[in-house]
Amino acid sequence: MSIAEALRDAEEIEVVTRGRRSQRPHRVRVWFAYDGEDIWLRTDRGTDWYRNLDRAGRCEIVVDGHRATAERVPVQDEGAALRRLVDLWRAKYGAEWVADWYVERGRVPVRLRLASGASGPRGG
């Protein structure tokens, strides 16, 4: 299975950022949407992983044994991006699981794009 297939099928991904001071890995599992080009996430501005990503501009994602570097892509209109993400999540997870509060103030859309050279499943 390719990483693109894994991104289409997986429920969650692991996002690995590096601590701003410690440089130690910081791992979180999150809901996401993949539109065939970009990986879309949503978070609060104060989360450690977001602040790490904001500083570094890149992270590692792990999905179904695949590991890849992803680069943050700037979002011009956060409100429109959050609404797009909610629509993608509703299609993926079901409208009954994705409420309008995902678009509340303070929520930040995160758009990632895979860097070239994504690896295959670990151990295989």
Q: Is residue 39 part of a domain?
A: yes
What is the model's pLDDT at position 14? 98
Q: How many CB atoms lie within 10 A of CB 69?
A: 16
Q: Is residue 90 part of a domain?
A: yes
What are the DSSP E strand ranges found in the chain?
A: 12-18, 25-31, 33-34, 38-44, 58-63, 66-73, 107-114
pLDDT digits (tens, 9 = 90+) for 57-69: 999 999 999 999 9
- Which positions of the chain have pLDDT values less than 50? 123-124
Q: Is residue 55 part of a domain?
A: yes
pTM: 0.86
List of residues 6+ apart from 110 with CB closer than 8 A: 40, 41, 42, 43, 50, 53, 72, 75
Q: Is residue 9 part of a domain?
A: yes
What is the model's pLDDT at position 93? 87
Rounded Cα distance between 13 and 17, Å, is 13
Q: Is residue 52 part of a domain?
A: yes
Q: Is residue 32 part of a domain?
A: yes
What is the model's pLDDT at position 116? 75
Using alpha carbons, select from 34, 35, 81 the residue that is nearest to residue 61: 34
Q: Is residue 123 part of a domain?
A: no
What is the model's pLDDT at position 83? 87
Report the domain count for the chain: 1
What is the model's pLDDT at position 123? 43
What is the model's pLDDT at position 106? 64
pLDDT digits (tens, 9 = 90+) for 97-111: 776 655 566 689 999
Q: Is residue 100 part of a domain?
A: yes
Q: How would you classify the pairing of strands 25-31 and 107-114?
A: unpaired
CATH number at residue 51: 2.30.110.10
What is the model's pLDDT at position 124? 42
Range of the domain at 24: 3-114
